[in-house]
Structures are given as structure tokens and as C-alpha cells.
Amino acid sequence: MLDIFYKGDSLLITDSNKKSIDFDYKSNKVLLDWYDVSFPWEYEKSWILLEVKEYNNYLFYNFLIDQKHLVIITEDNFEIKESILEFLWDVDILIIKWSKDATKIFENIEAKIVIPYGESKDLFLNSLWQQSEEVSVYKQKWELPIDNTEFVNLWL
């Protein structure tokens, strides 16, 4: 089970073993169980696998945590290419910065759960006709949505 919530300027993801991913959405810095992974590489720490790729000077994070593929996309100003889509295949949980261009990115990635972040995240949800109630913590159980995408609106 994953817990996802805000703590200050960070989005925290904790797994069933209480290991954490700390994503500082203002600086785009990512810590994996307190280890800085904000560089292209393949990592394994505390039973969490991570691959970080760089495309056009932007970092893309693809985690395998509690048997779920969790992807963090920190930018929206990039051309969607086949190489990026191959890296982002089979996304269970997508954490994406909201902007007018984020909708285009989201539509090319078939994520089961989408968590937009940023001050204007409500506009992202509204542009997709999603009226999600705000929650302080999202608890992702073992089962994922099958036929539709679930949108999560976290309190800042």
C-alpha cells in the first residue's frame, strides 16, 4: 500500500515498508529514502527500483515501488517522442505538473491513477471534466482501476 501526501513543499510517497520518495516540486529534486536521485541513472534502494532518464535537459523518473510503476514528470515543455513513451510505458501512477500542455502529455500516457501537482492543479482536473474531492492523503491499495483513470486531488 502506498500513501501519497504533501509535507511542506514536498510530495511524499511512502510504501508498505515505510520507505519514502520525497519529491520537492519547487526545486524538482527527488530523494529516494533520503538519497538524492536527481541525476540520470538506475538506482535500487530499500527495495525500490528507479530509472531516471534525461530527455532535452529534463529528468523523467520511473519507479517500481510495491509492485506499482510510479512516474514523476516535472516538466511540460517537451516534444513527446517515441523514446519517451517507451520509457513511460505501463504507468500505474502518474504524478504530473499541471499546465495547459500537461493535458497533451497525459493523453499520450495511459495511466491508471493521475495525481496533478502545482498551485493550479484544479484547472488541470477541471479541463479534463474531473470534479475530484480534495483529500489530505491518498492511500493506494493493491488493486488499481481497470477500465478508467482515477484522478486524485491532494490538498496543498
**Global pTM value:** 0.90
115-132 pLDDT, tens digit per residue, is: 888 766 666 666 666 666
Q: What angle do CA 13, 17, 22 make, to 5 degrees?
A: 25
Q: Could you tell me if residue 4 is inside a domain?
A: no
Mean pLDDT taken over the chain: 87
* pLDDT at res. 97: 83
* Residue 95 domain boundaries: 40-154
* pLDDT at res. 91: 94
CATH number at residue 83: 3.60.15.10
Q: What angle do CA 141, 145, 146 make, to 5 degrees?
A: 135
Q: Give the whole-angstrom CA distance, residue 2 versus residue 95.
A: 14
Q: Could you tell me if residue 23 is inside a domain?
A: no
Look at 109 and 130; give whichever has higher pLDDT: 109
* pLDDT at res. 127: 64
- Contact residues for 122 (Cβ-Cβ < 8 A; gap 6+): 153
